[in-house]
């Protein structure tokens, strides 16, 4: 199986690179300046040249707040680019896994979101990702859209690394306690994407369509921060007290959904894989970031 990953520097792409190609497969990466989702015309030639069996779109415009003033750019990268990529895959006969977000929902549901729940994004970033989903699903490509949430890893810009950095100089941090979700380790997301991709290449019709993937369990951002500091302290790393605040006390340019929980039962049914609990995944990530637990 020839796998082509769009993007190289994001959290998912880096974890795919660390995992390496599955047995009997090759793994290639394409990123700027060679190709650019903001220049959709570059994508068809790339897919035709590389002739992959599977394409994984790990690139996106992810500046949620900045998207409020750069809505056109966000739409170009997150909707028009993926649409062009999907059409190129359809023409070349390649399977496609496209990564999306919990932000396509408004967060008003009481429980975890199913793939069949209606979408209603509350910010420009979410609208661009919703348009990207539609473009991929309507392209005719053999495709899976994987929605995920609260992604972190040992590299890049993410909540875990931000909390650890701030704890180096602060004794207390105010963290939002009225938004709830399921933290997702990028390493587990990478494995999930590869598992779905393999089934698409094998022409398993059940692997087409929309899927949700995140680690098991749930937390508020404040819960997440407390767990980070508890596990970091156990490893001799930085720690801080968490002061629980409301969304209203931490205003941002872009609205955030209060509920980002994603139901992953469909993913488990199709792949046979059950996402590990988020606390377990966080510990594995902190083993890399901070070191093993102190003895």
Nearest partner of 99 among 64, 56, 61, judged by Cα: 56
- Separation CA 23–CA 97 (nearest Å): 19
Inside any domain, residue 82: yes
Query: Is 228 inside a domain boundary?
Result: no
Output the CA torsion sign for 33, 35, 37, 38. Answer: positive
Write the DSSP symbol of residue 254: S
Q: What is the mean pLDDT of residues 25-48?
A: 89
Residue 290 maps to a domain: no
Please list the alpha-helical segments (H only) found in 168-290: 186-201, 221-234, 265-271, 278-289
Question: What is the extent of the structural domain holding 111?
Answer: 2-158+183-217+260-276
Domain of residue 12, CATH code: 3.40.50.720
pLDDT at 125: 98
DSSP 93-126: T-EEEEEEEGGGS-S--SSPBPTTSPP---SHHH
Residue 240 lies in a domain: no
Per-residue confidence (pLDDT) for residue 295, from 0 to 100: 57
Residue 257 confidence class, pLDDT cut points 50, 70, 90: very high
| Mean pLDDT taken over the chain | 96
Task: Tell me, yes or no, whether 191 lies in a domain.
Answer: yes
Q: Which residues pair with 26 in a beta bridge?
A: 2
Helical axes 186-201 vs 11-19, angle rounded to 10°: 70
pLDDT tens-digit series, residues 134-180: 999 999 999 999 999 999 999 999 999 999 999 999 999 999 999 99
Tokens of 217: 């369990």
Tell whether 292 is covered by a domain: no
Q: Active site includes 125?
A: yes
Catalytic one of 61, 103, 113, 125:
125
CA 43/CA 198 separation, integer angstroms: 22
For residue 40, name the pLDDT band (cuts at 50, 70, 90). Answer: confident
pLDDT digits (tens, 9 = 90+) for 49-67: 999 999 999 999 999 999 9
Model-level pTM? Answer: 0.96
The reply to whether 233 falls in a domain is no
Establish if 31 belongs to a structural domain: yes
Q: According to the model, what pLDDT value does residue 175 have?
A: 98
Residue 36: predicted pLDDT: 84
Domains identified in the chain, total number: 1
């Amino acid at each position: 199986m020839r796998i082509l990953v769009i993007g190289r520097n994001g959290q998912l792409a880096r974890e795919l690179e660390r995992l390496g190609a599955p047995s009997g497969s090759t793994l290639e990466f394409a990123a700027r300046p060679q190709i650019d989702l903001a220049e959709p015309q570059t994508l068809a030639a790339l897919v035709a040249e590389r002739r992959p069996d599977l394409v994984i779109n790990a690139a996106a415009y992810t500046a949620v707040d900045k998207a409020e003033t750069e809505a056109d750019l966000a739409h170009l990268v997150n909707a028009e680019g993926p649409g062009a990529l999907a059409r190129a895959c359809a023409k070349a006969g390649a399977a496609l896994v496209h990564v999306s977000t919990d932000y396509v929902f408004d967060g008003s549901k009481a429980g975890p979101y199913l793939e069949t729940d209606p979408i209603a994004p509350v910010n420009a970033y979410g609208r661009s990702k919703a348009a990207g989903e539609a473009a991929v699903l309507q392209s005719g490509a053999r495709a899976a859209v994987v929605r995920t949430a609260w992604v972190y890893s040992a590299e890049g810009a993410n909540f875990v690394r931000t909390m650890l950095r701030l704890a180096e100089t602060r004794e207390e941090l105010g963290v939002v306690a009225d938004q709830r979700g399921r933290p997702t380790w990028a390493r587990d997301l990478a494995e999930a994407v590869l598992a779905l991709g393999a089934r698409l290449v094998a022409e398993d019709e059940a692997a087409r369509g929309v899927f949700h993937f995140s680690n098991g369990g749930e937390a508020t951002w404040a819960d997440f921060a407390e767990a980070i500091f508890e596990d970091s302290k156990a490893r001799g790393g930085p720690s801080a007290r968490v002061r629980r605040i409301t969304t209203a006390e931490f205003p941002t340019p872009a609205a955030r959904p209060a509920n980002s929980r994603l139901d992953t039962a469909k993913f488990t049914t199709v792949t046979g894989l059950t996402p590990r609990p988020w606390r377990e995944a966080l510990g594995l990530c902190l083993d890399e970031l901070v070191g093993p637990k102190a003895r």
